[in-house]
Amino acid sequence: MTPPPDRPDAKLIPIRGGPIHAPTTRDPRIDVFRGLALVMIIVTHMPGNPWESVTIRTIGFSDAAEAFFVMSGIAAGIAYSPGIARWLAGEGRAWDGIAPMWRRAWTLYMVQTVLTVAALGLFAWAASTFYRGEFRVMHNLARFYEDPGAAMWGMATLGYQIGYVNILPAYIALMLLAPLILVGGMRAPRLTLALGLGLWLVAGIYRLNVPNHPGGGGWFFSPFAWQAIFMIGLLIGIRHRNGQRLVPVNWPLFGVALAFLFFVFAWRHVPDLGAALNRRMAQLGSMGAPYNVVSHSKTYLALPRFLHVMALVYVISCLPFVTRACASRWADPLRRLGRHGLLVFALGTMLALTGQIVMDIEPNVAWLPWVVPPLGVALAYLAAWIADRARPRPGGAPRPRAIPTPDHRVTQVRASSDAS
């Protein structure tokens, strides 16, 4: 076996479909598109602002949540697959590969808890300060005041989730399962893909979800459904570490994916076409078709949303100029946001909730919806910039490492192992 060209001394670990090597190299697209997803989360979590019209949801059915899960899966696959690969090759302990993922899940759990408590405090403060009782009942906050004991237990078990602070529980569950998915992705990728898609379908048919407590119902993001998109991201990440693609560049397939994206755009924006297609889906549903195949459900990752984000990922990944653009200095702000994904997500969530309160208090101030979302993004960027400056750099700046691009050219970017 031959070491990768960017690290002559790197050791290759054999897995099904080819060797996997460490240490991590970083594709600029991962940081850029994760940063873009985080920006869209901040913007769309302040409903009613004009900037929502330039987010991904305008061009199709998927939104920042799908982008967040698939990019998180890719980053996790890149970061954590070497440890699992070493164990499979008999050169390390299973725990050495599993522990980093479970530590990450614990970090996410702590962030989820802090965000929930902070959101409760923020809205309680707003209700008292501005004499607006509705701030204590919106976003499922009323449950906390109705039954605080049950809500506290639900907070600890992730069963109590408030609006706009509900994406991390599913991500935590999937990070706990990530070692199993990675083993399957390395040993039997096709079977793993089939099982993941089968579970997604069953989740829609039987509405499989984790129950909420208190209040009943289920998680806003069913992990039984959303594992499919995270799993695909993991499989992409495994292959990417090896300089391979999960789905090869195929121009007829590219044409089909691009045509589907245009079709979905028309579905969204041509009223008669959209109404006709939605009626047909409703008819199929009344005939017994699976719920997540004939709906637009976000909770169960409905097929139109699922296919849209997968087509978008494939089309973007096939275009070499996208990699060059993501590696350019103009994309540095998004790369910086993406490198500090968890920090930006946590701060952005609180900034978005604060923005909601500000715009609710002053609904007649026309300039607020134009100013508050960009201000939130700017503050999140400032936090990422400070985190970059505070990061220890022994011996000076890290040496740039080469990253192969889809058209086999090499882009110099800074290496990092952050998988937030």
Residue 187 has pLDDT above 80, yes or no: yes
The pLDDT of residue 25: 54
- Listed as own residue / partner, the contacts of 288-291 with beta carbons closer than 8 Å and 24 or more positions apart are 290/201, 290/204, 290/205, 291/204, 291/205, 291/207
The residues, any chain, with a CB within 8 Å of residue 95's CB and separated by 6 or more, are none
Question: pLDDT tens, 78-127?
Answer: 999 999 999 999 988 999 999 999 999 999 999 999 999 999 999 999 99
Residues of the domain holding 145: 12-392+402-413
Mean pLDDT across 243-272: 95
Domain count, the chain: 1
Structure tokens at 130: 């501005």
Residue 345 domain flag: yes
Residue 375 has pLDDT above 60, yes or no: yes
Question: Binning pLDDT at 50, 70 and 90, where does residue 178 land?
Answer: very high
Nearest to 75 by CA among 109, 12, 14, 33: 33
Residue 7 domain flag: no
Residue recorded with tokens 């985080």: 38
Residue 419 domain flag: no
DSSP secondary structure letters along 257-322: HHHHHHHHHHHHH-HHHHHHHHHHHHHHHHTT--TTTSS--TTTT-HHHHHHHHHHHHHHHT-HHH
Question: pLDDT tens, 317-367?
Answer: 999 999 999 999 999 999 999 999 999 999 999 999 999 999 999 999 999
Nearest to 112 by CA among 39, 172, 46: 172
The pLDDT of residue 352: 97
Question: Binning pLDDT at 50, 70 and 90, where does residue 8 land?
Answer: very low
CA angle (122 as vertex; 419, 362 as ends), nearest 5: 110
Residue 418 domain flag: no
At 18 the three-state DSSP class reads strand
Q: Is the peptide bond before 23 cis (omega within 30 degrees of 0)?
A: yes
Residue 374 domain flag: yes
Mean pLDDT across 64-69: 94
Residue 420 domain flag: no
CA 245/CA 251 separation, integer angstroms: 14
Bridge partner residues of 21 (DSSP):
12
Residue 3 domain flag: no
Question: pLDDT tens, 196-231?
Answer: 999 999 999 999 999 999 988 999 999 999 999 999
Structure tokens at 336: 């910086």
The pLDDT of residue 396: 52
Residue 76 domain flag: yes
